[in-house]
Amino acid sequence: MNDFHPQDRIGRAFAAGKPIDDALTRGIRQAMAVHKRLGHSVIVWRDGKVVSLPADEIPVDISESDNPKPYPVPTE
């Protein structure tokens, strides 16, 4: 059952699908670039297994990413 209204901007985005897919792809690319820039690994699904991917193996060009800013680091 669809609870969105096609006349709403968000409803149209969900109905079309592509804007949502594009936003998710952009967000993932930005998050991967931030992790790579900070030297943090990421967890990925590879060959049917969950694996930790070291920062130097993250397949994203940080110079071409959408200028992601690092997440705030919590201080104690």
Q: What is the reported pLDDT for 8? A: 77
Inter-residue contact 11 to 3 (CB < 8 Å): no
pLDDT digits (tens, 9 = 90+) for 11-53: 777 777 777 788 888 888 888 998 999 999 999 999 999 999 9
Res 74 pLDDT > 70 = no
Question: How many beta carbons lie within 10 A of that of residue 14, not counting itself?
Answer: 16
Q: What are the residue ranges spanned by the domains of the chain?
A: 9-57
For 45, residues 6+ apart whose C-beta sits below 8 A from its C-beta are 51
Q: What is the reported pLDDT for 55? A: 94
